[in-house]
Amino acid sequence: MARLLIVGPQGSGKGTQGIRIAEAYGIPAISTGDMFRAAVASGSDLGNQVTEIMQSGNLVPDELTSAVVRDRLTQADAAQGFLLDGYPRNVGQVADLDAFLAGRGEQLDAVIELVVPREESIERLTLRAAEQGRADDTEEAIANRLAIYERETAPILDVYRERGIAVEIDGVGTLDEITDRLIAALEGRGLSRSTAA
C-alpha cells in the first residue's frame, strides 16, 4: 500500500512518471489535469467552468479542485493507496488533503519532487503543444503556469520536507532512467512494489 504525491513543474514528466509508478505499485494515478480535461470533453457545467479557467492559463479554484479529488479518493480502487498528480498544488490544498486523510486515519507515505530546469520544461511543453495540438499550451499560458508553480506549488515542498517525506529526483534523462531513480528512492523509504505489477 502506498499513498504518494508527485510534484514538479509543468513539462517535468510527472504525468508519465506518475502512471509508471502507479502501475509499479498497483495503485491508481489520480491526475487533476486528466479529471479536468475529461470534464471539459464531457461539456458538463463543471467542464465549461474549467474550460474558461484553463484557456486563460489560470488554475481551477481550490474548493472546486478539493471537492473533485475528495470524491475520487473515496472510490474503491483508491482504498489501497493512490498516486496524486497536480494536487495539492498550494499550502491551502495541503491542509484540505491532510484533513481528509486524517479523517480516514491515513497520511501520505512519500512526496516525489521531479526536478527539471525551467528551460527544459518550456522546451518539452512547446514540443508537446506541437505534437498534441493542445490549445492550453500556448507560450503565454506555459510561462504563466510555470510562474504559478514557482510561486504557489514549490512552497508545499517545504511543508513535506519538514515532515521528512519529500524525495527529490533528477527529472532529466530517459523515461526508464527516471522511473528507476523513482522506484529506488521509494524502496529506500520502505515502500515495496506491488507483487501484482
Query: Confidence class of residue 115 from pLDDT cuts 50, 70 and 90?
Result: very high
pLDDT for residue 91 is more than 80: yes
Query: Confidence class of residue 30 from pLDDT cuts 50, 70 and 90?
Result: very high
- Pick the residue with more confidence: 60 or 157? 157
Q: What is the pLDDT of residue 144?
A: 86
Query: Where exactly are the structural domains of the chain?
Result: 2-188
Query: Confidence class of residue 26 from pLDDT cuts 50, 70 and 90?
Result: very high
Note the residue count of the chain. 197
For domain 2-188, give its CATH number from 3.40.50.1100, 3.40.50.980, 3.40.50.300, 3.10.20.30.
3.40.50.300
Secondary structure of 48-79 in HEC code, one letter for each residue: HHHHHHHHCCCCCCHHHHHHHHHHHHCCHHHC
- Pick the residue with more confidence: 197 or 153? 153
User: Measured at the alpha carbon of residue 181, what is the angle toward residues 177 and 187, in degrees to the nearest 5?
Assistant: 140
pLDDT for residue 197 is more than 70: no
pLDDT tens profile 40-76: 888 888 788 888 887 887 778 888 899 889 888 988 9
- Pick the residue with more confidence: 122 or 110? 110
When the pLDDT of each residue in the chain is averaged and rounded to a whole number, the result is 89
Q: What is the pLDDT of residue 67?
A: 85
Q: How far is CA 197 from CA 27, 78, 107, 148, 192, in A?
A: 10, 16, 23, 35, 11
Q: Give the residue numbers annotated as catalytic, written as ranges.
A: 14, 89, 128, 134, 145
pTM (predicted TM-score):
0.85
